[in-house]
Amino acid sequence: MAHENFKVKVVEIILTIAVIFLIVLNTTYIPSIATITMFILPIPITLLYVRNGYKVTLFSIVVSTILVSIKHNLVLTILYTFMYGLVGIVLGYCINKKKKNSFSIIVTSIAIGIGTIVQFIVYSIFIHKQGILKSINLIAEASREPFKIAKDTYVSMGAPTELIDAVNQIIKSITAQQILIILPVIILANSLIQSYINYYITSKVLQKSNLNIDRITTFSIIYIPNLLAAYIIIIACLGIILDSRGITIGTYMSGISMYILRFLFSLNGIAFFAYILRNKFKLSRAASTIILFLGLVIPIFGDIYLIAGTMDIILNLRRLDPNPIRKVKKRE
């Protein structure tokens, strides 16, 4: 029996090494698929960690790194195995310790965020060799380019001066400083979304393997605690005060905090509408997802999500926050 278990473990290790090797190799050739593979590659690493512990998992990652580095760039190989390995091990640790899904998702999103930042630094310094500041300036320039093309199109069509002036204002507002403010929020949003999807897929795989894992929280009952919102608002206010006194860090504190608030409030608003569609109108998950996605595509719904999310946080409309600002009395 022990011999059979050993053979199964060896097969699992070999298969995991093969999967890591193939995905990391393809990612080093096509870096743009790194976001997609972040949903996939951590899963076998997590499974290996849950079944065999961190020593076997680290061994598999190291072997895969050596094998891929023989075929491709060593720096990129280490980068991507570090990114995927970190996420897989962190999630595996949370599952082994029987942590709640909310804790696991937050910790995993931190790991993804760290990996994303490391990726940006490595590409800026070691791959493109242009430095972090120049990379940010290039991002700003690339972000301005579509609006420049749009402006030229409007001019050639004889569009109203007001419209052209509005586009010019947008072009002027896209600066390296603005990119530095927006980037942390993009990383935060990307990390949370990737972490949630990764946990969802991993939980489904583990459940089919008869392994215990805390079931993921339904999106419709996700909420932003009002205390978290209050802390971010305090940071934003401190940033505004510092900025008014000419202290540069205040600009970034207030700017980043306001963008984070907007993202969190909008996310809360989407969850609020998901709750209404699923619980009040009794729509299917597929129909609700399509409606919510269409809302993201149509610009005006962005403001509706923001307002709804804000009202839900303040008034606790779904009655999910255990520490509401306003307690709603139950009807007799």
Decide if pLDDT at 30 tops 90: no
Dihedral sign, CA of 44, 117, 222, 324?
positive
Buried b (16+ CB within 10 A) or exposed e, 92-116: bbbbeeebebeebbebbbbbbbbbb
Cβ atoms of residues 119 and 27 within 8 Å: no
Identify the pLDDT of residue 319: 92
Tell me the average pLDDT across 100-129: 92
CA 8/CA 221 separation, integer angstroms = 40
Decide if pLDDT at 280 tops 80: yes
Please tell me the pTM assigned to this model. 0.88
CA 42/CA 81 separation, integer angstroms = 10
Cβ atoms of residues 313 and 265 within 8 Å: yes
If you search the block for the tokens 């699992």, which residue do you land on? 12
Model confidence at 105, pLDDT cuts 50, 70, 90, reads very high
Return the SS3 of 131.
Answer: coil
Decide if pLDDT at 332 tops 60: no
pLDDT over 70 for what percent of the chain?
95
Count of residues in the chain: 332
CA 77/CA 40 separation, integer angstroms = 17
Identify the pLDDT of residue 326: 63
Cβ atoms of residues 142 and 216 within 8 Å: no
Identify the pLDDT of residue 9: 72
CA 147/CA 180 separation, integer angstroms = 19
Decide if pLDDT at 269 tops 80: yes
Closest CA relative to residue 45, chosen from 202, 190, 186: 202
Rounded CA Rg of the chain: 23
Cβ atoms of residues 220 and 279 within 8 Å: yes
Q: Domains of the chain, with CATH numbers?
A: 1-129+183-217 (1.10.1760), 218-332 (no CATH)
If you search the block for the tokens 């090494």, which residue do you land on? 17
> Could you give the angle at which helices 101-122 and 74-96 cross, rounded to 10 degrees?
170
Cβ atoms of residues 12 and 48 within 8 Å: yes
Of 3-17, 215-229, 252-266, the poorest mean pLDDT is in: 3-17
The angle formed by the CA atoms of residues 113, 212 and 44, to the nearest 5 degrees, is: 50
pLDDT in tens, 76-102: 889 989 999 999 999 999 999 999 999
The first and second tokens of residue 181, run together, are: 């403010």
Identify the pLDDT of residue 183: 93
Cβ atoms of residues 64 and 82 within 8 Å: no
Cβ atoms of residues 171 and 140 within 8 Å: no
Tell me the average pLDDT across 275-296: 92
Cβ atoms of residues 19 and 64 within 8 Å: no
CB within 8 Å of 240: residues ≥ 6 apart: 250, 254
What element of type H or E holds 124?
none
CA 28/CA 72 separation, integer angstroms = 7
Between the alpha carbon of residue 94 and those of residues 33, 84, 283, the distances in Å are: 26, 16, 33
